[in-house]
Structure 1
Amino acid sequence: MSITYYGYPNCGTCKKAKAWLDAEGVSYHDVHIVETPPSKEQLRKMVEISELPLKKFYNTSGMKYRELGLKDKISTMTDDEQFELLASDGMLIKRPLVTNGLKATVGFKESNFTENWKS
Structure 2
Amino acid sequence: MTSKLQIYSYSSCSTCKKALKWLQENNLNYTLIDITQNPPEKEMLIKAMKDLGSRKSLFNTSGLSYRALGAKVVQSMSDSEAIKALLSDGKLIKRPFLITQEDKILIGFKPEIWAEALLV
The answer, yes or no, to whether TM exceeds 0.5 is: yes
**After TM superposition, where is structure 1 displaced by more than 3 Å over at least 4 residues in a row?**
none
Residue 83 of structure 1 aligns with an amino acid whose one-letter code is I
The superposition leaves residues 5-43 of structure 1 with CA deviations (integer Å, 9 ceiling, x where unpaired) of 000011000000000001001111110000111122221
RMSD (CA atoms): 1.4
The alpha-carbon distance between structure 1 residues 16 and 58, as it changes in their structure 2 partners (threshold 3 A), is same
Q: 2 CA distance for matches of 1:75 and 1:63? A: 17
Residue 45 of structure 2 corresponds to 43
1:26 aligned residue: 28
Cα distance in 1 between the residues matched to 2:104 and 2:54: 14
Aligned-pair identity (%): 38
User: How many residues in Structure 1 have an aligned counterpart in Structure 2?
Assistant: 117
| Matched residue, 2:117 | 116
90-99 vs 74-83, which deviates more? 74-83
Higher RCO, 1 vs 2 (CA within 8 Å, ≥6 residues apart):
1
- Structure 2: tracts of 5 or more residues without a match: none
- Within 5 Å, which residues of 2 pair with 1:54-93? 54-69=55-70, 71-93=71-93
Gaps of 5+ in 1: none
Offset, 1:52: 4.0
